[in-house]
A and B are shown apart, each in its own frame.
Chain A
Amino acid sequence: MKNHLTLKQLQNGLQNKDYSSVELTNYYIDQINKYNNSVNAFITVDYEKSLAQAKLADEQLKLNKSSDLTGIPIAQKDIFCADGWRTTCGSKMLDNFISPYDSKVVELFNQSGAINLGKTNMDEFAMGSSNETSFYGNVKNPWNLDCVPGGSSGGSAAAVSSGMAPAATATDTGGSIRQPASLCGLTGLKPTYGLVSRYGMIAFASSLDQAGPIAKTSEDCAMMLNVMAGHDHRDSTSIKRDKLNYLDNLNDSIKGKTIGIPKEFFNSDLDEDVKKVLDRVIDEYKLLGVNFKEISLENSHLSIPVYYVIAPAEASSNLSRYDGVRYGYRASDYQDIENMYLKTREEGFGDEVKRRILVGTYVLSAGYYDAYYLKAQKIRRLIATDFKKSFSECDLILAPSSPSTAFKIGEKKEDPVSMYMQDMYTISTNLAGLPAISAPAGFINNMPIGFQLIGNYFSESTILNFVHEYQKQTGWHQEYPEVR
């Protein structure tokens, strides 16, 4: 079997009976056995479970009762609860947690006949941009094992990039789909807030968290989103809309459309090499007949400060449930209930998670609420309003996905603030709730880097169309690392 087949190619292979789902699943199991030791992309695999699903999928394929992803193995970020599967969220706190239920996303993949290939590594509770905060050790970038894969969905990105999975689920609270996609040379889509159900997706910052796919191509992202998107009555923030087929508009002409260039992102702070890559992307889009226009997102410089108030505030509350009472880790040695809490949470959480809980507790506490939390919520509105204005002038907005290519493991670990800067180009869309994609734009010193396209609410079809048209003309998305 050829390496690095896309979902579309696998769908054809399965339907033409070139191979069975069991054979395909075994192929990826072999890849995992070969590469996971060096890449560390998976926390949990359960081949028996995966192969049992593959057998059922083969029966469906035989009966021609299949849907697009039937029989295709998909890696699940370990933030999605899956019935009977250990679900850790990258934390010691949930090291022994076997989920008794399926998240909506996992349920939808199961219904589609896809195979759960295993649970991918991630920053602890999705807090991080390098995958170094995982209790299960850092994930390595398949392009250079000394480098980080990005985060928090670093395991999902590394699994796809190294060929251990054809596609993976991921989540994005401040850039956790797009930044690892950029650093691993993949296409990753963060949908509009509310398009994909958060039910059973372990919460980090509820008003920002959104699930989406990491895959090789825009077309594969569309196939994944076709499964993931849809209303869920168990998530109050899930949107009721007609379900779209995201494959329908992939090949629409983008000639005459306009992409906005926010001057605040393309200023002197932008890395020279990244700028060069993005300039080439602009040229390539111009060849497709797209117009460019300078726009302004004047409050975008505030998105990191605002994010590091809102996300920790929500997280501090969301993570209060990990108290050692009903499930998960409990300290072994304690004198009383207070002491049990203090030690359970001291030992069960890693440093970055504890730091964010403390920051969140601080900004919500009496005397600081107005100056921090309320202020952040107000500036959040300013940031969203900037986008609203811009979309009256353009169809999509171009931005960098990450400030640089993958950095060395350990390089930023001791400096949280410099780590937070990794998300400077991605965070504002989370605050506004907008959809955005990162797609491969080229290489700097042999390391991949992506470009980002941001769209208006529910414009996923347009975004996927723009990237698909680009990928028909370019070959960046077809480059894969050779893992050593």
Chain B
Amino acid sequence: MNWDIVIGIETHVQLTTNTKIFSGASTAFGKPPNENACLVSLAYPGTLPVLNREVVKKAIRFGLAVDAQIAKKSIFARKNYFYPDLPKGYQISQFELPIVNHGFLNINIKNQEKKIRILRAHLEEDAGKSVHGIHDNATGIDLNRAGTPLLEIVTEPDMSSAEEAIEYARKLHNLVQWIGICDGNMQEGSFRCDVNVSVKPKGSEKLGTRREIKNLNSFRYMQQAIDYEVNWQIEQLEDGNEIIQSTVLFNPDNGETRAMRSKEEANDYRYFPDPDLLPLEVTEKDISEISESLGELPVDAISKLKNNFSLNDSDADLIASDKATYDYYLNLIGYDLDPKITANWVLGYLFAKMKEMELNIHQIPISSDQFSLLIKRIMDKTISNNAAKKIFDLLWEDSNKNVDQLIEELGLTQVSDSSSIVPMIEEVLANNQQMIDQYRSGKDKAFNALVGQVMKISKGKANPGQVSDLLKEKLKEF
């Protein structure tokens, strides 16, 4: 039988704020255990929550970025359950009336745009951390994370493959960083996905029973977990077994998913409006102020790259895959550079080098002045692409070096005057009759070999384009 895969994603996005959602304790990551656990985080008797303004602003920012409705009035509720790292015995979360409703995010799959609907995004507080095996048979509770603001973004079950799910997650990951609401650090848990997976017979209207894979914090794991889960569910159904709705964990060590013990019994969370918090009201004015500060979004950036700079789809997508790269690119273009050559350099040699050195775009040792100058020298044909790579490497090692000086020192100036190149061509043609014959009989390869010979004689300094043009002319007369 053929199967349809149905996937929905709930993403927990930690909002970047100085302090927690309901108290003035720091949210700094990596502190010693319980350093950021204040009276409210510890749920001391008598303590009360007060909402952080910044958290509300960031939720609205997100809502506007996905064309969602911002609720004029939203409500915080209590979700009641016991867990040692949940200090109050309830989590404050938005239940019936969330702040963000009905938005969408477009993804590109095989050059086709697909709309993923976002059902809602609601504010809530993160729990603390349970550290297992502190000593024999003991779990340690660290409440530093308790009360860190989260925006939980919930999609409709609109994705039908692991590929789509990951593309959505990447797009969302880019967006939340782009609009400045999340640092996107997946290792630190700033962006965690719960993926709901179900399968159904191809074309069937009725949805299958879903299982929720909890807490995926890397795209690779997400891929592995969905692949495993889909296969597992199909196998179960083909063997005549039923899928039981459950929460599962992914084990990266063996690439498998397994049902969680603690969630085996269906919980009854007894949601009710939190009497310690009043209805959150948002005015048109609040919304329009945030809207004005939102600026260009990834989707605008991509169309600008395509329309104004004539980049192709895939280059535009890559340049706009994060805000830092996009800003970096725009900054370079500002030096009056050719957009296409610049895109090739950024996405090609620069990215490869960054990957090799494990650096991000903010850590590039070459100044924009020098990098743009280097690209200018390619544009004005002073140096060849290969020569430019040499210079780039030298600049990377010593940021005090200067492009023009290096060109001169290393004698890399490209020979572009025909009076120097023509004698070289003539020399090559005189010595390679066989290749000329091959060229005439229609073999393109022979032409490239001839160009290579000329370049060799020029010690790589001849302008390859010019060599090629001049060679074509000479071959006509020869």
Contact of A337 with B84 in the complex, beta carbons under 8 Å: yes
Q: Of B47, B141, B272, which contacts A325 at CB under 8 A?
A: B141
Contacts of B88 in A (CB 8 A): 320-321
How far is it, in angstroms, between the C-alpha of A313 and the C-alpha of B442 when the chains are bound? 88
How far is it, in angstroms, between the C-alpha of A379 and the C-alpha of B277 when the chains are bound? 21
B174 CB → nearest A CB, Å: 35
Contact of A236 with B278 in the complex, beta carbons under 8 Å: yes
How far is it, in angstroms, between the C-alpha of A462 and the C-alpha of B270 when the chains are bound? 41
Q: Of A97, A198, A234, A326, which contacts B43 at CB under 8 A?
A: A326
A206 at the interface (CB under 8 A from B): yes
Contact of A202 with B45 in the complex, beta carbons under 8 Å: yes
Contact of B90 with A202 in the complex, beta carbons under 8 Å: no
Contact of B44 with A327 in the complex, beta carbons under 8 Å: yes
Give A388-411 as 1s and 0s: 1 = Cβ < 8 Å from B's Cβ atoms. Answer: 000000000000000000000000
Give B249-279 as 1s and 0s: 1 = Cβ < 8 Å from A's Cβ atoms. Answer: 0000000000000000000101110011110
Q: Which of A3-11, A151-159, A215-223, A363-371 contacts B (4 or more CB under 8 A)?
A: A363-371
Given that A365-B270, A369-B272 are contacting pairs, would A320 and B90 also be in contact in the complex, using a CB cutoff of 8 Å?
yes
Contacts of A237 in B (CB 8 A): 275-276, 278
Contact of A236 with B48 in the complex, beta carbons under 8 Å: yes
A169 CB → nearest B CB, Å: 13
Contact of A234 with B48 in the complex, beta carbons under 8 Å: yes
Contact of B42 with A326 in the complex, beta carbons under 8 Å: yes
Give A356-382 as 1s and 0s: 1 = Cβ < 8 Å from B's Cβ atoms. Answer: 000001001110010001000000000
Contacts of B80 in A (CB 8 A): 316-317, 320, 364
How far is it, in angstroms, between the C-alpha of A337 and the C-alpha of B86 when the chains are bound? 13
Closest to B88 in A: A321
Contact of B45 with A87 in the complex, beta carbons under 8 Å: yes
B46 at the interface (CB under 8 A from A): yes
Contact of A321 with B45 in the complex, beta carbons under 8 Å: yes
Give A69-102 as 1s and 0s: 1 = Cβ < 8 Å from B's Cβ atoms. Answer: 0000000000011000001010000100101110
Q: Of A89, A236, A321, which contacts B50 at CB under 8 A?
A: A236
Of B44, B49, B278, chain A has the most CB atoms within 10 Å of the CB of B44
Given that A236-B48, A317-B272 are contacting pairs, would A325 and B277 also be in contact in the complex, using a CB cutoff of 8 Å?
no
B373 CB → nearest A CB, Å: 55
Closest to B37 in A: A326
Contacts of A103 in B (CB 8 A): 46
Of B51, B143, B268, chain A has the most CB atoms within 10 Å of the CB of B268
Contacts of A361 in B (CB 8 A): 270
A359 CB → nearest B CB, Å: 12
A253 CB → nearest B CB, Å: 38
How far is it, in angstroms, between the C-alpha of A200 and the C-alpha of B39 when the chains are bound? 10
Q: Of B39, B49, B87, which contacts A100 at CB under 8 A?
A: B39
How far is it, in angstroms, between the C-alpha of A341 and the C-alpha of B89 when the chains are bound? 11
Contacts of A337 in B (CB 8 A): 84, 139
A352 at the interface (CB under 8 A from B): no
B45 CB → nearest A CB, Å: 4
B131 CB → nearest A CB, Å: 14
Contacts of B78 in A (CB 8 A): 317
How far is it, in angstroms, between the C-alpha of A170 and the C-alpha of B131 when the chains are bound? 41
Contact of B82 with A199 in the complex, beta carbons under 8 Å: no
Given that A317-B89, A325-B141 are contacting pairs, would A233 and B272 also be in contact in the complex, using a CB cutoff of 8 Å?
no
- Chain B residues 1 to 55 lying within 8 A of chain A, measured CB to CB, are 39, 42-51
Contact of A81 with B45 in the complex, beta carbons under 8 Å: yes
Contact of B45 with A207 in the complex, beta carbons under 8 Å: no
- Chain B residues 66 to 81 lying within 8 A of chain A, measured CB to CB, are 78, 80
- Chain B residues 182 to 232 lying within 8 A of chain A, measured CB to CB, are none
B22 CB → nearest A CB, Å: 9
Give A196-232 as 1s and 0s: 1 = Cβ < 8 Å from B's Cβ atoms. Answer: 0011111101110000000000000000000000000
Contact of B47 with A200 in the complex, beta carbons under 8 Å: yes
A368 CB → nearest B CB, Å: 10
Contact of A89 with B89 in the complex, beta carbons under 8 Å: no
Contacts of B276 in A (CB 8 A): 203, 206, 236-237
Of B39, B46, B88, chain A has the most CB atoms within 10 Å of the CB of B46
Contacts of B46 in A (CB 8 A): 80-81, 103, 198-203
- Chain A residues 184 to 202 lying within 8 A of chain B, measured CB to CB, are 198-202
Contact of A366 with B45 in the complex, beta carbons under 8 Å: no
Contact of A323 with B275 in the complex, beta carbons under 8 Å: no
Contacts of B49 in A (CB 8 A): 236
Contacts of B42 in A (CB 8 A): 326-327
B274 CB → nearest A CB, Å: 8
A235 at the interface (CB under 8 A from B): yes
How far is it, in angstroms, between the C-alpha of A203 and the C-alpha of B45 when the chains are bound? 7
Contacts of B141 in A (CB 8 A): 325-326
Q: Of A101, A341, A366, which contacts B44 at CB under 8 A?
A: A101
Contact of B89 with A320 in the complex, beta carbons under 8 Å: yes
How far is it, in angstroms, between the C-alpha of A80 and the C-alpha of B46 when the chains are bound? 8
How far is it, in angstroms, between the C-alpha of A99 and the C-alpha of B42 when the chains are bound? 13
A124 at the interface (CB under 8 A from B): no
Given that A89-B45, A234-B50, A236-B278 are contacting pairs, would A317 and B87 also be in contact in the complex, using a CB cutoff of 8 Å?
no
Contact of A365 with B268 in the complex, beta carbons under 8 Å: yes
Give B107-145 as 1s and 0s: 1 = Cβ < 8 Å from A's Cβ atoms. Answer: 000000000000000000000000000000001010100
How far is it, in angstroms, between the C-alpha of A94 and the C-alpha of B51 when the chains are bound? 28
A314 at the interface (CB under 8 A from B): yes
How far is it, in angstroms, between the C-alpha of A206 and the C-alpha of B39 when the chains are bound? 18
How far is it, in angstroms, between the C-alpha of A81 and the C-alpha of B42 when the chains are bound? 15
How far is it, in angstroms, between the C-alpha of A153 and the C-alpha of B80 when the chains are bound? 29
How far is it, in angstroms, between the C-alpha of A99 and the C-alpha of B46 when the chains are bound? 10
Contacts of A101 in B (CB 8 A): 39, 44
12 extra interchain contacts, Cβ-Cβ under 8 A, other than A236-B277, A313-B272, A326-B43? A198-B48, A199-B48, A206-B275, A206-B276, A235-B48, A236-B51, A317-B78, A317-B80, A319-B89, A323-B82, A361-B270, A366-B270
Q: List 26 A-B contacts (CB under 8 A).
A: A80-B46, A81-B46, A89-B45, A94-B45, A97-B45, A100-B39, A198-B46, A199-B46, A207-B275, A235-B48, A236-B49, A236-B277, A317-B89, A321-B43, A321-B89, A323-B82, A323-B84, A325-B141, A326-B42, A337-B139, A364-B271, A364-B272, A365-B268, A366-B268, A366-B270, A369-B272
B residues at A contact (CB < 8 Å): 39, 42-51, 78, 80, 82, 84, 87-90, 139, 141, 143, 268, 270-272, 275-278
Q: Which 6 A-B pairs have the closest CB atoms?
A: A320-B89, A207-B275, A364-B270, A206-B275, A200-B46, A321-B43
